[in-house]
Amino acid sequence: MYSNKQLAGAADEAKAHIGYIETDPNGRYGLFEEVLGKGAMKTVYKAIDEVLGVEVAWNQVRLNELMRSPDDLQRLYSEVHLLSTLKHDSIIRFYTSWIDVDQKTFNFITEMFTSGTLREYRKKYRRVDIRAIKSWARQILQGLVYLHSRDPPVIHRDLKCDNIFVNGHLGQVKIGDLGLAAILRGSKSAHSVIGTPEFMAPELYEEDYNELVDVYSFGMCVLEMFTCEYPYSECANPAQIYKKVTSGKLPGAFYSIQDLEAQRFIGRCLVNASKRLSAKELLLDPFLASDEVKLLSKTKLNQKPFLNETELEKLQLSDDPPRTDMTITGKLNPEDDTIFLKVQIADKDGPGRNIYFPFDILNDTPLDVAREMVKELEITDWEPFEIAKMIDEEISVLVPHWKKREWPHPEAYHTFNYEEDEDGYHHPLYSFPSCSSSQASLPGLVTYDHDWLKALKALRTQEHIPA
């Protein structure tokens, strides 16, 4: 038999083997060392849900002296049960929770957001269009409408950009840390007022409030979204913030907002509770009206071609560098009906070249010769069919009875294999630098290679190569 201590030791070894610091009581969730976020009383770690194979957030709260009585524990479980029933697209999904008695921690698993909090995200991306801010505001308000419409209403009490999480690749924001403020608020060791002073409504200090405190905090969140500045950053301590809040003075950042409609909208969130609108009413404010219809109509009015002619010309010039300059001229040798072609190539990155080669009008085809040229001369910016067409036109001038071909569209040649068989026939190409081309006479070249021409004809006759 194994003792409990031995079993616990074996379990710890198994966790370490797969990289977990610890697992939940059922062994479904594994905790990693990577910290996603850390606050005064809570640390968030990356974890894995082994059943679904997805990454999740493992939230761990140090209880310390928070749980002093059975009533405190009962209240905690009630809050946790409430969280597990909340399901909305603008509320972070809550999966499960438990208390680790030995470690004195309250643990709960939620969905994970890789882009961090809205405050971090906004500081990272300062150039954000007002339409993005409106979209975030709408999503947050939709979450508040859901919470406040519950019976009884669910009040966040500590809404701020640090408690709103972002899926950056989707433009999605969700309210998080729900219920945590309420859990801490019931503890005898906690302060009587729970929240973040910069975001707290005046009535929260009097502990006589309702769900409209979340609307006030929402207004401060929107203020931070616009200014990238913490509300009341001009104050040196919480006492100064308290004095300003309770006397109805707005943060200095409020007056720095350039957009008057945005300023008016935020102001409606920060008025006295008796005049403050509910989340549901604010959601109907014209400021938050979707810009999609307006944007679509504007796009249609200003619609223009994807690229105009000038832009197309510039694009073509930038994408297609100048081609190698190439000309083909020919001379007929009446003795054996052989044509000598002269190809003048002006290379882009070097001196020009003159290349001479024979063309047998009985046995050669322009395309075969062109393919050989492309291969042997390493021509990369001319298609074989283009060279063949030039050869064809030159021969038709020299030989009146030559029948010109109809050359298909370039795309018809894109699947051809220009590689020749190693044992196949290759045209001899004679290359001379352009600077010395005047010294090389065509008759001399013909005389020099006259024996080769005879041998070539004899070879072709033996191989029965068709004309």
Q: Which residues are catalytic?
A: 177
With contact defined as beta carbons under 8 Å apart, do 173 and 118 qualify? yes
Q: What six digits make up the tokens of 281?
A: 């009413």
Cα 259–263–265 angle (5° rounding)? Answer: 120
Kindly write down the DSSP assignment for every residue of 192-225, as one continuous string: SS-S-GGG--HHHHTT---THHHHHHHHHHHHHH
Closest to 111 in 3D by CA, of 95, 88, 99? 95
The Cα–Cα gap between 339 and 319 comes to: 38
The single-letter code of the amino acid at 372 is E
Strand ranges of the sheet holding 325-333, from the earlier edge strand across to the other edge: 325-333, 338-346, 353-360, 430-433
What is residue 110's three-state secondary structure?
Answer: strand
Residue type, 390: M
Q: What are the CA-CA distances from residue 56 to residues 108, 231, 287, 397 (Å)?
A: 10, 31, 35, 79
Reference 269, options 355, 141, 85; nearest CA is: 141
Distance CA 194, CA 179 (A): 12
Which 8-state DSSP code applies to residue 342?
E
The phi, psi pair for 264, rounded to 5°, reads -65, -40
Query: Where are any strands of DSSP class E within 21-123?
Result: 22-23, 29-38, 42-49, 54-62, 94-100, 105-111
